[in-house]
Amino acid sequence: MTFFGNDAWWWPYFFILVAGWLATDFWRFLGVFIGDRIAEDSSVMVLVRTVATALVAAVIANLIVFPGGALAATPLLLRLGAAAAGFAAYLAISRSIVLGIAVAEVVLISGLLFGA
């Protein structure tokens, strides 16, 4: 079974769907089966949480530094300032994610409206 193994119009879509499902769901099922057997405070789980947090931080940093779409037209300093203000608000206001995001959006929109 190969990507070019069939001439039907739907074959590439089906192939990508199945290949994507097999590549990701295997690890999800493995995590479910193994996750119950590992203590939450074990060094393995600490490592898994650390790597997951680092990946999320890297994605956020990538979106701030190298944005796409309309956000790419905004100045880098404004994007960094909005992210810093949102994080500061998150820490200051009872660690509320929603309020941190709202503050970052207000800073970003205000900077765009009033000329950053």
Name the one residue in this structure whose structure tokens are 């990508």: 16
Query: Residue 32 pLDDT > 80, yes or no?
Result: yes
Model confidence over 47-57: pLDDT tens digits? 988 999 999 99
Q: In this structure, are residues 113 and 103 in contact, taking their beta carbons and an 8 Å threshold? A: no
Q: Parse the chain into domains and list their residue ranges.
A: 7-37, 40-66, 74-116
Phi, psi of 106 (to 5 degrees): -65, -40
* 31 band by pLDDT with thresholds 50, 70 and 90: confident
How many Cα neighbours within 13 Å face the side chain of 10?
Answer: 2
DSSP secondary structure string, 69-92?
GGGGGS-HHHHHHHHHHHHHHHHH
pLDDT of residue 56: 94
Alpha-carbon span 104 to 79, nearest angstrom? 9
Is residue 4 scored above 70 in pLDDT?
no
Whether 2 shows a pLDDT value over 80: the answer reads: no
Q: Is the pLDDT of residue 96 over 90?
A: yes
